[in-house]
Amino acid sequence: MASGPLRHVVVAGGSGLVGRHLVAALCGMGARVTVLSRSPSTFSLPAGAEARGWEELPGVLDGADAVINLCGAGIADRRWTAARKQALLDSRVAPTERLVRAMGATGPRVLVNAGAVGIYGAMDDRPVDEGRAPGEGFLPQVCRQWEAAAEAASASGVRVVRLRLGVVLARDGGALPRMALPVRLFLGTRLGQGRQGLSWIHVDDLVRLILEAAANPACRGPVNATAPRPVSNETFTRTLAQRLRRPLLPVPAWATRSGISLLLGEMGVALLLEGAFVRPRQAERLGFAFQFQRVEDALADLL
């Protein structure tokens, strides 16, 4: 695992869950951090970080070692209407294209672009790694366009890392508090048959992997940002219930499928009833050491 210094890093989307943890880690390392934001005066940052507006591109990139792009509207925030689907796509592709244009031939030589394991679509229980072709459906379509926008920077000699994030587990936001709530209320149950893959990553490991991707010249192309041991929905839910000392309800698969389809529509089916068992082969080849390989250990740390 080879790494170079990160003295100045530009982070787009730095006010989100992952961005907050990443900015704090960079500042803790003594790096100068510039957070790109549409509203730079609306949130606070740790010492060593500053918020700048997108209108200051490309000048804001001067002297930066790397650009880390985490932009994207919340994929699970609301039902997927036609307008919402377009907003999800635009919020990912448009900022990426803007960053790539700003980097040009003289900007930072590294772009770490966040994507998602949703690019693989719904899979069976066979392990999936970076060699797997994109799947079919809305999420794979968004991810393909997102990655293509980032990869365009390679034409200018930029090293592009296309991170494919799994479900990020953190105590201060994201999916875990929402998944834990029904279990805490004695309403936890597997979703559908519970066999669908849930590929996850502890937020601390994700931040370390992002830093490695930015600093390591051997890291490029697609990189699955998932823990080495993905689990099924049923296993995750059972482990979560054990950690919270709660029973699970024996709800029939047809009932949860029907309820999710009715309440959440296409979004619920894609995010809750489908999945894949994604393995981080590229990260392992780079020698990256995950601190949280088992979901039991991750939940013990976070809950």
Q: What is the pLDDT of residues 267-280, one digit of tens each?
A: 999 999 999 999 99
DSSP label at residue 273: I
Q: pLDDT band at residue 41, thresholds of 50, 70 and 90?
A: confident
Q: Which two tokens stand for residue 17?
A: 């869950």
Mean of per-residue pLDDT scores for the chain: 95
Burial annotation 12-34 (CB, 10 A radius, 16+ → b, else e): bbbbbbbbbbbbbbbbeeebbbb
- Predicted confidence at residue 39, as pLDDT, reads 86
Round to whole Å and give the CA distance between 261 and 18: 29
Instruction: Express each pLDDT in 127-158 by its tens digit.
Output: 999 999 999 999 999 999 999 999 999 999 99
Q: pLDDT band at residue 1, thresholds of 50, 70 and 90?
A: very low
Using DSSP's 3-state secondary structure scheme, residue 276 falls into coil
DSSP label at residue 168: E
**What average pLDDT does the segment 176-183 reach?**
97
Predicted confidence (pLDDT) at residue 4 exceeds the cutoff of 70:
no
Q: What is the fold, at CATH topology level, of the domain defined by 8-169+200-228+276-291? A: Rossmann fold (3.40.50)
Conformation bin of residue 121: beta by default, left when phi > 0, alpha when psi is -120 to 50: left
Q: Beta strand 167-169 with 200-202: parallel, antiparallel or unpaired?
A: parallel
- Predicted confidence at residue 3, as pLDDT, reads 52
Using DSSP's 3-state secondary structure scheme, residue 3 falls into coil
DSSP bridge pairs for 66: 9
Instruction: Express each pLDDT in 203-234 by its tens digit.
Output: 999 999 999 999 999 999 999 999 999 999 99
Q: Where are the beta strands (DSSP E) in the chain?
A: 8-12, 32-37, 49-53, 66-69, 110-116, 127-128, 159-165, 167-169, 197-198, 200-202, 221-225, 231-232, 277-278
Amino acid letter for position 157? G
Where along the chain do its domains lie? 8-169+200-228+276-291
Share of the chain above pLDDT 90, in %: 93
Predicted confidence (pLDDT) at residue 263 exceeds the cutoff of 70:
yes
Judge whether 31 and 46 are in contact, CB under 8 Å: no
By CB neighbour count within 10 A (0-12 exposed, 13-18 middle, 19+ buried), where does 137 fall? Answer: middle
Round to whole Å and give the CA distance between 245 and 238: 10
Chain mean position to CA 209:
11
